[in-house]
Structure 1
Amino acid sequence: MTTASSADAVPGKPAVAVLGTGIMGSGMAHSLLRAGLPVRAWNRTRSKAEPLATAGATVTDTAEEAVRGADVVLTMLNDRRAVTETLTAATGGLRPGQIWLQSSTVGLDATTDLAHRAAGLGLVYLDAPVSGTRQPAEQGTLTVFVSGPSAARATVRPVLEAIGQRTVWVGEDPGAATRLKLVANTWVINLVNSAAECLNLSEGLGIDPQLFLDAMKGGPLDTPYLQGKSAAVLNGDLTPSFALSTALKDSRLILEAAEAAGVTLDLVAASAERFARAEDAGHGDQDMIATYYAGRGA
């Protein structure tokens, strides 16, 4: 088995394999490179990883090649299936003692399953979902929720400091960080749908939506999120910072967790229905504020 080349090694800085270079993974990889960490990047569709090469990353053909010799393996993929398939593809290049920083939002059951799989491979599993979207990922200003063995903190600290402005250590239990992430996503999902519904109602009542936004601006009920997401709709720029289809997936994970906990979440259930209608209408690849389209004409 080969290890990372001497050209990849930087004294005192962990080598990182980034598996998954979509909206979030690509931004996180750029942040790691800016911090001077060696990065090997892999994506199922190689063309999505190629731009990282010009920033200094080594783009590999396989997940196995990416993880070979890495100190930290960072996964930022869409769902449980993608993470599981990628782990299987990478197995030949993994070694006992590597830290697996699992940042994909996959839900509670999947997190438990992945932790068991990591233990079977001798990996140090850190449950590490993030709060933030495209711009914070690109700027290295995410909030990272982490749970797992405290002994791994020193090694992974440079990675966490590169991708985030804040790290919240939740505990040793690998599911604790995911639980916190689901709570945080509940707030975001309900907030974005509230913004969309206010725009829908403004237009339905013949009120210029900008008048509503101006009325809220600077007051105790205003938020940068309301202003920014509403502006995206009004300007017609729905370039995804967080895709609607991903928000729908996360909504369903939240509802699954709530049901298992005996909690009723009426707002998230309604949000999931809106996301589903918007996705069915062809807006799944747009930013999640495209939930606006689920209320037009209602």
Structure 2
Amino acid sequence: MDDGGKVGVAVLGTGRMGAAMARNLAAAEHDVRVWNRTRERAEPLRDAGVTVAATPAEAAEGAACVLTMLTDAEAIEGALDGEDGALAALGPEGLVLQMGTVGVEDVGRLGELVEGAGALFVDAPVLGTKQPAEEGKLIVLASGPAGAREGTAPAFEAVGRRTIWLGDAGSGTRLKLVAQNWVMTVIEGLAETIALARALDVDPAKFLDAIDGGPLGPAYAQIKGKMMIDGEFPPSFTLKGARKDVRLVLDAARSADLELALAPAILERFERAIELGHGDEDMAACIAATQAPATI
């Protein structure tokens, strides 16, 4: 970190979330280098003053921290490890900020990989999707060594409106999976409620109006409910991504000897909607499974 608090940050993964985070880091005047497996998708970031690297190692060269926002633990491991991996170029005591959604067991494996290379591992998934990411208003669920906190502040402050520190690495992922279980339950419950309204010849917009502004009417229901009513699903968080997270929730529950009743049913509905061709649309498209003809 220099006297002005500016740092070199490597962002690995420039999908909807990673690209927005890279833009906000650049807007905060940090030195940002990005890498994406499909380089063409990272190129538009040049307009924001971001350098596009050919490999994760090139992105991490000279950086104080590496931020990963990749699909899953396998992708993260691939971007960190090996001759062209970010850990090969990250300096001693460098920081790796794992900010995607992974499984409970994945965190331990990634932490061992990072610490084995002499770097500090911070598990810091986020709450929020495309719009909060673009606005720099994510909630960061940070966990890791106390000595890493000061070094993470410049990056976390650029991408989020709030950072919650939770303890040892892995605590962030556990809370994220708890939150995702709630989100998936809400989204599927909303889909079935709107489908029920239509089946009973009730205008679903009247339902949203009835709960608006009260304790039963979170803003999330209004946003996703309107998408379901309109039948238009521009992706903020895709249904395929939601399916992955439900699977991670179920894995975490099994590892804790907890049997969940709703999550398996939600997974089945998400699978059905994906089979119907909605996997790359917003997860609100899960309503397609409820509205589709019943299958035997």
Q: Shared fold (TM-score greater than 0.5)?
A: yes
SS in 2 for 1:294: helix
1:11 offset after TM fit, Å?
4.1
Q: Deviations over 1:185-212 (max 9, x none)?
A: 1111111111111111112222221122
Q: How does 1:127-166 map to 2 (within 5 A)?
A: 127-166=123-162
TM-score (norm 1): 0.94
Distance 1:34 1:61 in 2: 22
Letter in 1 for 2:23: H
**Map of 2:263 onto structure 1:** 268
Per the alignment, residue 112 of structure 2 pairs with 116
Query: Deviations for 1:10-49, whole angstroms, at most 9, x for unmatched residues?
Result: 8421110000000111111111112121110110011111
Deviations 1:240-296 (A, max 9, x none): 111111111010111111111111221122111111111121111111111010101
Identity %: 48
Distance in structure 2 (CA, Å) of the matches to 1:142 and 1:11: 24
Tell me, which stretches of 5 or more residues in structure 2 are unaligned? Answer: none
Matched, 1:21 2:21: no
1:108 is aligned with what amino acid?
V
Specify the code of the residue in structure 2 equivalent to 1:83: I
- The answer for the alignment partner of 2:66 in structure 1 is 73
Task: Flag as ranges the 4+ runs of structure 1 deviating above 3 A.
Answer: none
Contact 1:16 1:37 in 2 (8 A): yes
Secondary structure, counterpart of 2:66 in structure 1 = strand
Return the letter of the residue paired with 1:266.
Answer: A
Q: 1:56 maps to which residue?
A: 49
How far residue 102 of structure 1 moved from its aligned partner, in angstroms, is: 0.5
Structure 1 partner of 2:93: 97
Distance 1:94 1:196, change over 3 A: same
Secondary structure of the structure 2 residue equivalent to 1:227: helix
- Separation in 2, partners of 1:245, 1:107: 16
Q: Structure 1: which 5+ runs fail to align?
A: 1-8
Match of residue 289 from structure 1: 284
Amino acid paired to 2:27: R
- TM-score when scaled to structure 2? 0.94
Displacement of 1:237 in angstroms is 2.8
Q: Given that residues 10 and 37 in structure 1 are in contact (C-alpha distance below 8 angstroms), is that contact kept between their aligned partners in structure 2? A: no
Matches of 2:30 and 2:86, distance apart in 1: 21
Aligned to 2:122: 126
Q: Secondary structure at the match of 1:295?
A: helix
Separation in 2, partners of 1:59, 1:216? 46
User: Aligned ranges for residues 95-244 of structure 1 at < 5 Å?
Assistant: 95-171=91-167, 173-244=168-239
1:6 corresponds in structure 2 to none
Opposite residue 242 of structure 1, the aligned amino acid is F
Letter in 1 for 2:214: G
Higher alpha-carbon deviation: 125-134 or 47-56: 47-56
Corresponding letter in the other structure for 1:115: G
The count of corresponding residues between Structure 1 and Structure 2 is 290
Instruction: Measure how far apart 1:116 and its partner are.
Output: 0.4
Alignment partners' CA distance in 1, 2:286 and 2:232 = 14
Please give the alpha-carbon distance, in whole angstroms, between the structure 1 residues aligned to 2:18 and 2:4.
24
Partners of 1:31 and 1:16 lie apart in 2 by 12
Amino acid at match of 2:65: V
Instruction: Give the SS at the match of 2:213.
Output: coil
Superposition RMSD on alpha carbons, in Å?
1.5
